Chains A and B, each alone.
Chain A
């Protein structure tokens, strides 16, 4: 049987493991040309890792920050769907909802889902979300300080680190041939557009084309 205690311990474990990624974000962000203030503002106020990485990745490759922000917001759209299942699970009132929305992320959702009781779902959600929030911001700041001290990002392979970080975020979703094909198609279209369009656009257009492909082409098992 799952006890409240084990829910809290599991949540803190996930919080610790996830929160330290902030170091890579802070380092890469300042290496991409953002200030320490801007880097910390992203972790404090946006607080959704993949979107933050997307934004700095596009800026590092010479893209327009507005295009970068739109890509980042699109990537954050999954949080909306998380919120939907969480709403049923946590049953929050108006003010609680406003205060809790900020920590609706992949990990807090995962640690709340599939709990047998509402009480344990809430424990999982808040302990995971809040511990990640605190750590993520601390480690972002540390990474940003280190990043500004060390200079040229390519020397340390930090440009390769962004690609690796994205791949790590994508990996767990590549469970079917359908998903793999969609990801590869998005990549191929984006690369085809790189010489033709402004930086940032290949990502939105390639991603958009791949979503359309994924919607139109239904694998036989699901049809």
Chain B
């Protein structure tokens, strides 16, 4: 089995277990204020890190290229309340065009 499949199995088990646990755990356990704070912070913190690495990292180096331009376009469109799918396609299109120049 390739390591990608191992990763997929970990995700299948892990993600389902979390969903099921939430429906099953007694309220008082997760109702604690700091647990709630952490729950709000985890996606924000991880997505921040993910975006940075996705857009600026190239292996173990940092590289500024058309990906960053795409991200700026995405941010502008999101600020203008453009829906998700057109926003993603526009970012890809701008990055692709920039590479043609």
Interface residue ranges, A against B (CB under 8 Å): 17, 20-21, 23-24, 34, 38, 41-42, 45-48, 50-51, 54-55, 57, 59, 61-62, 64-66, 68-84, 86-88, 92, 97-98, 100-102, 104, 154-171, 173-174, 179, 182-191, 194-196, 199, 202-204, 206-211, 214-215
Contact = CB atoms under 8 A, between A and B. Distances in A.
Contacts of B43: 50, 75, 78, 169-170, 173
Given A41-B8, A87-B23, A167 B92 contact: no
B12 A45 contact: yes
Interface string B50-94: 111111111111100011011101110010000111011111111
B44 interface: yes
Interface in B10-41: 10-12, 14-16, 18-25, 27, 30-31, 34-41
Contact of B49 (A34, A72, A157, A206): A206
Contacts, number: 318
Contact of A66 (B6, B12, B74): B6
Given A83-B23, A171-B78, A195-B62, A73 B47 contact: no
Q: Majority SS of interface residues in chain A?
A: helix
22 contacts: A48-B15, A65-B6, A79-B15, A82-B19, A83-B20, A83-B21, A86-B22, A101-B20, A157-B91, A157-B93, A163-B71, A164-B70, A164-B87, A186-B45, A190-B52, A194-B53, A194-B61, A195-B62, A210-B45, A210-B49, A214-B45, A215-B34
B15 A72 contact: yes
Given A78-B42, A157-B93, A207-B45, 16 more contacts: A42-B11, A55-B11, A65-B3, A66-B7, A69-B8, A80-B21, A100-B23, A156-B96, A159-B54, A159-B95, A160-B66, A182-B48, A187-B51, A195-B61, A210-B48, A215-B41
Contact of A160 (B14, B24, B45, B94): B94
A83 B54 contact: no
A83 B27 CA distance: 10
Contact of B46 (A34, A157, A186): A186
B12 A54 contact: no
Given A83-B21, A102-B19, A54 B46 contact: yes
Contacts of A48: 15, 19
Contacts of B23: 83-84, 86-87, 92, 97, 100-101, 104
Contacts of B15: 46-48, 51, 72-73, 76, 79
Contact of A72 (B11, B38, B39): B11
A212 to B, nearest CB: 9
Contacts of B84: 17, 21, 165, 168
